[in-house]
Amino acid sequence: MPKIKLPTKSPHIDMTPMVDLFSVVLTFLMLTATMRQTEPAPVDTPYSISEKPTPDFNTMTLLLSPDDRVFLNFDNGPDTLLKYRPKILALMGGRYSIEFTDAEKRQFEKYPSSMGVPILKMKEFLAAKDAKDKAAFQTGIPIDSTDNQLALWILFTRQVNPNVQACIKGDSKTGYPIVKKVLDILQDYKVSRFNLITSLEAARINVTEIQQ
Amino acid sequence: MAEIIQEEKAGGKKKAKKHAPHIDMTPMVDLMCLLITFFMLTTAFSKSKIMEIILPERQKDNAPAPRISASRTLNIVLGSDNKIYTYPGTVKPEDYNNLPPLQETDFSATGIRQILLERNRTLAKKISDFNDLVLTGKLVISQDSVLGALRQLKKVDDTGPIVLIKAYKKANYGNVVDILDEMNICGIALYMLVDITWYEEKMVETASGASPGTATSTN
């Protein structure tokens, strides 16, 4: 019996369409990418029906973590040449008679996420190379009335950038007392307009219920 | 001899021409897969939203508190464990020993939303009618005008409740955002976040200490 001879072809798949598709997806993702910010504390924002997007610049974001730490983040302004962040750091250092070098200011300017470092530890924080070493300094900004550094940060941020908008990003589990304290500090500095950062959630009301 | 060699050469050349230049794309695909995965994981697709809130400005110590009508006032006290307590009107100083009972409710659509919609029926109806007109295309106006019209509807309304939101110390931030969101959903024209008073703290403590049945029996 002669064996049936199968055509011996190497299993070669034409990958061109796949590559095409991948290129398209890759290009799309690269063009639309806005990097997700890594926050020093995990924060799950509450949901609301608001559809207003967060502004891209002129914001100072107060991050309230569930373990009652307060972090602050502010941007460099609509133009990176404005260099708001190093200016604010210099003012803050001036208040506590700490002289920051140009290298430290540059590092602070580029630091991408929120910081919760007491100002006296700021130099060590900026000198730390490793992300893990940096995280050890993130103990939250002091907000006690004896050493209210958050108030000073807010004051200097508003001095440097008068158009700044206050955003509050809190975890759903953050206790109200800390929120109240932060709101009080903001109100002391005549900030009474806030943006609460939330995630979008749809809600429907039953119209017939109202008409009854 | 020379002829044969030439022929062979010619044959070899022909063979080379037949083969299409085939590049192995596997490494490229590998790399692309990696990049796509990286970008998909790091991209924030849905940008987070903001909810605007304006707190009343600090009153000077000697300035009198603004007077609001007690019949329109609805007090909402956020308690612990996602509970909400409400009571209408105000507590007069002579009632401090005999505090009114609190009505306990929750954040569900049949809870606080029901209460708010019932009290805000006229305005909520107007707002939903207006939104219907816009959505069905009977009224064509720009998005800004929609917001302006809604603001005007809220401004002229004088029957809806004035909601005072207070948070007990055991409430959390999520509750505050939820209740403010509920104000937006129900189209409440006047609401404000105010400090809790000592007697309201006491009321919450008695309400959460006592069985919920007794707290909800009245009102």
Q: Does B28 fall in a domain? A: no
Tell me the chain A residues in contact with residue B28 when contact means C-beta distances shorter than 8 Å. Answer: 19
The predicted-structure confidence for A155-208, as pLDDT tens digits, reads as follows: 998 888 888 888 898 898 888 888 888 888 888 888 888 888 888 876 655 545
Give just the sign of the alpha carbon dihedral A151, A154, A160, A162.
Answer: negative
pLDDT of B102 higher than 80: yes
A128 pLDDT exceeds 80?
yes
* Percent of chain A residues past pLDDT 70, beyond the cut: 92
Which of B131, B144, B150, B177 should one mutate to test binding to chain A, selecting the residue with the greatest count of A CBs within 10 A? B177
Check A174 against B113: CB less than 8 A apart: no
pLDDT band at A24 (very low <50, low <70, confident <90, very high): very high
pLDDT of residue B217: 40
Q: Is residue B189 part of a domain?
A: yes
Q: Nearest-CA distance from A121 to chain B in Å?
A: 29
CB contact under 8 Å between B185 and A205, yes or no, is yes
B134 and B176 both lie in a single domain = no
User: Do residues A164 and A76 touch, judged by C-beta distance below 8 A?
Assistant: no
pLDDT at B214: 43
- Minimum mean pLDDT among A16-30, A49-63, B53-67: which range? B53-67
Within this chain, do residues B152 and B101 fall inside the same structural domain, yes or no?
no
Segments forming the whole domain that contains residue B113? 70-120+160-217
Contact B111, B84 (CB under 8 A): yes
As a whole number, mean pLDDT of residues A34-51 equals 80
Average pLDDT, chain B: 78
The answer to whether residue B212 scores a pLDDT higher than 60 is no
**What is the pLDDT at residue B34?**
92
Mean pLDDT of A71-93: 85
- Which among A36, A48, A207 is the nearest to B51, CB-wise? A48
Nearest C-alpha in A relative to B175: A172
Looking at the predicted structure, is the pLDDT value of residue B12 above 50? no
Least CB–CB distance from B50: residue in A54, A173, A209: A54
Q: Does residue B112 have a pLDDT over 50?
A: yes
Domain CATH number, residue B182 = 3.30.420.270
CB B142 within 8 A of CB B119: no
Query: How high is the pLDDT of residue A204?
Result: 59
Distances (CA, A) of B80 to B136, B166, B194: 42, 12, 17
Average pLDDT value for residue range B79-96? 82
Q: Which residue of B has its CA nearest to A183?
A: B55
> Which DSSP category does A173 fall into?
T
From chain B, the residues in CB contact with A197 under 8 A are 48-50
B141 and B94 belong to one structural domain: no
Tally of structural domains, chain B: 2
Nearest CA in chain B to A53: B49
- Residues of A with CB below 8 A from B58's CB? 187-188
Contact A197 B180 (CB under 8 A): no
pLDDT interval class at B19 (50, 70, 90) = low
Q: How confident is the model at residue B43 (pLDDT cuts 50, 70, 90)?
A: confident
Q: Are residues B155 and B185 in the same domain?
A: no
Same domain, residue pair B85 and B138? no
- Can you give the residue ranges of every domain in chain A? 47-200
Picking from B112, B139, B159, the residue at the C-terminal end of a domain is B159
Same domain, B79 and B116: yes
In A, minimum Cα distance to B127 occurs at A207
B109/B165 same-domain check:
yes
- In this prediction, residues B105-134 reach a mean pLDDT of 84
pLDDT of residue B4 exceeding 80, the answer is: no
Task: Output the pLDDT for position B1.
Answer: 47
Give the residue from B159, B186, B207 where a domain finishes.
B159
Nearest Cβ partner for B49 among A64, A187, A199: A199
Are residue B129 and residue B212 in the same domain, yes or no?
no
Q: Residue by residue, what is the 3-state secondary structure of chain B? A: CHHHHHHHHHHHHHHHHHCCCCCCCHHHHHHHHHHHHHHHHHECCCCCEEEEEECCCCCCCCCCCCCCCHHHEEEEEECCCCCEEEEECCCCHHHCCCCCCCEEECCCCCCHHHHHHHHCHHHHHHHHHHHHHHHCCCCCCCHHHHHHHHHHHHHHCCCCCEEEEEECCCCEHHHHHHHHHHHHHHCCCEEEECCCCHHHHHHHHHHHHCCHHHHHHCC
Find chain B residues with C-beta within 8 A of A47's C-beta.
177-178, 181
B127 and B116 within one domain: no
Percent of chain B with pLDDT strictly greater than 70: 82
pLDDT digits (tens, 9 = 90+) for B158-199: 778 888 888 888 888 888 888 888 888 888 888 888 888 888
Q: Residue B42: its chain A contacts at CB < 8 A?
A: 33, 35-36
pLDDT in tens, A94-106: 888 888 888 888 8
Q: Look at residue A3 and tell me whether its pLDDT is greater than 80.
A: no
Q: Which residues of B touch A50 (CB under 8 A)?
A: 49-52, 181, 184
pLDDT band with cut points at 50, 70 and 90 for residue B56: confident
- Residue from the list B25, B132, B176 with its beta carbon closest to the beta carbon of A19: B25
Q: Do B89 and B153 sit in the same domain of this protein?
A: no
Assess whether B76 and B128 both reside in one domain: no
Count CA within 13 A, CB hemisphere, residue A110. 6
Best CA proximity match to A25, nearest among B55, B51, B36: B36
Instruction: Please name the residue of chain A whose CA is at the shortest distance from the CA of residue B120.
Output: A210
A194–B44 C-beta distance less than 8 A: no
pTM for the full model? 0.74
Query: Which segment of A80-84, B161-165, B206-210 scores lowest on mean pLDDT?
Result: B206-210
Shortest CA gap A100–chain B (Å): 33
